[in-house]
Amino acid sequence: MKFTKMHALSNDFIIINNIKQHYRLNKNIIKKLSNRYTSIGFDQLLMVESSKNKNIDFHYRIFNADGNEVNQCGNGARCFAKYVKYKKLIFKNNICVSTNNSIIYLKILDNNEICVNMGTPLFNPESIPFLGILSNNSYSLFYNNKQIIFDIVSLGNPHCIIQVNNLSNIHIDLIGSFIQNHKLFPNKVNVGFMELVNSNNIKLRVFERGVGETNSCGTGACAAVAIGIKKNFLSNKVKVNLIGGSLIIKWKNNNIFMKGDAHYIYDGIIKL
């Protein structure tokens, strides 16, 4: 199988052109491919497929390292845009792709960054889904007898956002795993930990479904900013600082826009 390795803010992917090939990868194969010690290694596997709609350029499928298919990946979307242009699958800079549950618009900018229209954030529990009850305009769970207050939002995939005073004092893996696997999140959830710097600047770490903590998460950045704007402590344009680098997130006309770069690493062939 031919593949391309790419990364966006150190969130790494393999991309497979499945337009002319017809690979059917089951969960076990994807899990083996994602192993960083015995195979290629990646956070997510992205698949480029033909669109059945003449107004949509491609169909975009996303699989986490555990083999489960998910509906959205912001960093992956930027890699997707750079991939189809680099491989000459398309020659225009404005690209429309479908995912399992939405349509997203990608734009390759003059400085080679990519802007992604991530759509309208959804704050209702049904979109996550989340089975908890709203209290004082937020939600909460108890971890080790301590109340954790959080907010929820969906941007094609589900996010739980926790505002913290200092990211360096947080047990990301323990708390992230506890919330992600809680029975009130029947489909699990991505857990973001947000530290406010000022109204135009935040720090963020994200514990992702089926992966664990990653160096960056595009939809997580969009989710954190959406929550901050909704709760009136962030402006409509925010720099999000992640372990792997920074993104610019804007909320305009009820849509969230994400701007950042993406990088080609290498092409390879692996025997399945």
**Is residue 226 within 8 Å of residue 194, measured between CB atoms?**
no
Annotated catalytic residue 79? no
Q: Give me 169's structure tokens.
A: 């004092």
Residue 71 in 3-state DSSP? coil
Sequence-distant (6+) residues with CB within 8 A of 25 are: 33, 45, 63
Q: Would the CA dihedral through 34, 36, 39, 41 be positive or negative?
A: positive
Q: What is the dihedral of CA 53, 12, 9, 114, to 10 degrees?
A: -20
| Residue tagged active-site, from 115, 160, 217, 222 | 217
Q: Nearest 5 degrees, angle CA 198-CA 204-CA 207?
A: 160
Q: How far is it, in rounded angstroms, from Cα 228 to Cα 132?
A: 21
Q: Which residues does residue 255 pair with via DSSP β-bridges, in sequence order?
A: 252
| Residue tagged active-site, from 73, 79, 115, 160 | 73
Annotated catalytic residue 222? no
Q: Give me 233's structure tokens.
A: 């402590």
Q: Give me 49's structure tokens.
A: 């497929």
Amino acid, res. 252: K
Gyration radius of the chain over CA positions: 18
Three state DSSP letters for 168-194 = HHCCHHHHHHHHHCCCCCCCCCEEEEE
Which residues are designated catalytic? Answer: 73, 217
